Structure 1
Amino acid sequence: MKFQPIVPMIWTNELQETVSFYCDVLGFSCGNYNDEWGWAAINKDDCEMMIAKPNMHISFDKPLFTGSFYIKVDDVETLWNTVKDKVNIVYDLEDFDWGMREFAIYDNNSYMIQFGQDL
């Protein structure tokens, strides 16, 4: 039995705005969008995410996630310079003792996304 890469699904009441944030700001592509289902699939290289409006099976008041999404990239400094003036920053680009160079932002729903690269 082999596990495949995890594909997070984030919930939002702002489907189109969220797809636009990930595509326009972070460079993702929208591979599938279905307004009737309230669902979209986005990807960039090997990174995939799904975005969905809550349905009747989900109790949902507002976006909430108690952790962060950590995306490893191969050129975190270039990404930082591309997005830093377009996003709400959690912390700036920094080198950490655990061997990572990383930064963190909030998306348009206030989900935290960290981007990191091995030093």
Structure 2
Amino acid sequence: MTTVTPMIHVPDVAATARWYEGIGFEVLATAEDGVETTWAQLALGATRVMLNCGGRPATHDRRDVDLYVETDDVEAFRRRFDGRADLDLVEDLHDTFYGMREFIIRDPNGFWITFGQTVSG
């Protein structure tokens, strides 16, 4: 095995892909059924994630899958979101007991995305 790419089932693939583009992901590929976008593959650096149609909106605090993205400069990445009205910030920058500096946002479907960096020293 060389990689694992999560596939998230969402109600609206096109809208979700646009939201992820807005936070820095790149849309690599999409598929359509003639009416709507049914699938998309996105990238953020070496990170890959796929979106697939057929998901339901979340009605609870957390979903069954969260994304964890490691970055070299989590504070700079956090600053990308300053002033964004559409940002659902779950937890702002904080140091964890397991040696990471992190912040957590929620995507439009309720999935959590944690951005983290190893704390040195």
Equivalent in the alignment of 2:57 = 62
Which of 27, 34, 39 is the aligned partner of 1:30? 27
TM-score normalised by the chain length of structure 1: 0.84
TM-score normalised by the chain length of structure 2: 0.83
Q: How does 1:1-119 map to 2 (within 5 A)?
A: 3-24=1-22, 26-36=23-33, 38-54=38-54, 60-63=55-58, 65-86=63-84, 87-119=87-119
Cα distance per residue 1:34-74 (max 9 Å; x no partner): 121601111111000000102xxxxx543573242111111
2:10–2:56 contact (8 Å) kept in structure 1:
no
Where does structure 1 differ by over 6 angstroms across 4 or more consecutive aligned residues?
none
Query: Identity rate of aligned residues, in percent?
Result: 28
Cα shift at 1:96: 1.7
2:63–2:110 contact (8 Å) kept in structure 1:
no
Change (3 A) 1:19 1:118: same
Residue segments in structure 2 that go unaligned for 5+ positions in a row: none
Report the RMSD for the aligned CA atoms in angstroms: 1.7
